[in-house]
């Protein structure tokens, strides 16, 4: 579930003028404190995603990804980089360079346009490496298609990672029905590949830039060749070396991956 949706050629065929065009000059924007993943096709949510990017699907009165952006803004994050591919002009045109709503008003946005640059999404690791030169030395990553409205992007957690030896800190959640086997074990504050009980990776994490360079990762910063790669193998290597910390998040969390989960979320039923 951590590898974002499949790549679909032609995902950026329609590119109207306006904010999308203006955002193309944003490569020199200040470094971002967070990367929000919004490039996936949302194949399992078709036909809803045929004409709307999954992170923009309305959930309880607002676009899905806005719930995460609002949580970032409450925590004091001010600069967010959003990666895009499928129907990416819709996301750029919706948000532009600065938030327009009162709740998101302190946020500024820049974009990593994988669709324009490479014809499709680069998967999670490829997308992070593409964005890396524009990210802070320690940065948040979250998925735009996950609903966790009360999550706290804790500034103190960031400071602990800055001052420690870990390469990342991941937030795990109790296993949802569609993923009963989990992804990792949480041993105190250590993320392990093996052990019990198993937990599911929430997609929310803090990362040091060092994790995305040698010896852990061989994709060059900026990913100029557009290499497509999932994040899971890299996290497993670092976890095996004891370099990933973790916490358990027990607040509301839904991976909005199917029409059924979306409908349950809208009605407040068990998603």
Q: What is the pLDDT of residue 102?
A: 61
pLDDT for the residue numbered 75: 94
pLDDT tens track of the chain, all 271 residues?
A: 343 333 333 343 334 444 444 454 445 556 899 999 999 887 787 887 788 899 999 999 899 999 999 999 999 999 999 999 999 899 998 887 766 566 667 889 999 999 999 999 999 999 999 999 999 999 999 999 999 999 999 999 999 999 999 999 999 999 998 899 999 999 999 999 999 999 999 999 999 999 999 999 999 999 999 999 999 999 999 999 999 999 999 999 998 878 878 888 887 755 5
Q: What is the pLDDT of residue 6?
A: 35
**Token representation of residue 144:** 């735009």
Q: Nearest CA to 170 among 150, 143, 144? A: 143
pLDDT confidence of residue 262? 83
Q: Count other Cβ atoms within 10 Å, centred on residue 149.
A: 16
Residue 3 · residue 107 · CB < 8 Å:
no
């Amino acid at each position: 579930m951590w590898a974002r949706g499949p790549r679909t050629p032609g995902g950026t065929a329609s590119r109207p003028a306006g904010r999308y065009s203006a955002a193309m000059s944003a490569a020199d924007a200040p470094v971002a404190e967070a990367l929000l993943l919004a490039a996936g096709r949302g194949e399992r949510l078709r036909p809803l995603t045929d004409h709307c990017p999954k992170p923009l699907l309305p959930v309880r009165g607002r676009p899905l990804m806005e719930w995460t952006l609002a949580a970032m803004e409450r925590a004091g994050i001010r600069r967010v980089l959003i990666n895009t591919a499928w129907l990416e002009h819709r996301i750029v045109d919706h948000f532009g360079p600065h938030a327009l709503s009162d709740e998101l008003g302190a946020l500024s946005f820049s974009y990593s346009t994988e669709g324009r640059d490479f014809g499709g999404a680069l998967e999670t690791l490829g997308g992070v490496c593409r964005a890396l030169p524009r990210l802070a030395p320690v940065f948040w990553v979250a998925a735009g298609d996950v609903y966790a409205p009360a999550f706290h992007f804790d500034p103190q957690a960031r400071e602990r990672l800055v001052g420690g030896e870990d390469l990342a800190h991941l937030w795990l959640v109790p296993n949802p029905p569609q993923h009963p086997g989990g992804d990792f074990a949480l041993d105190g504050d250590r993320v392990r590949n093996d052990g019990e009980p198993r937990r599911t990776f929430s997609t929310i994490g803090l990362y040091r830039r060092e994790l995305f360079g040698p010896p852990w990762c061989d994709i060059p910063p900026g990913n100029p060749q557009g290499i497509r790669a999932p994040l899971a193998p890299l996290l497993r290597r670092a976890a095996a070396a004891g370099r990933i910390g973790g916490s358990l998040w027990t607040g509301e969390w839904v991976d909005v991956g199917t029409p059924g989960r979306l409908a349950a979320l809208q009605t407040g039923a068990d998603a």
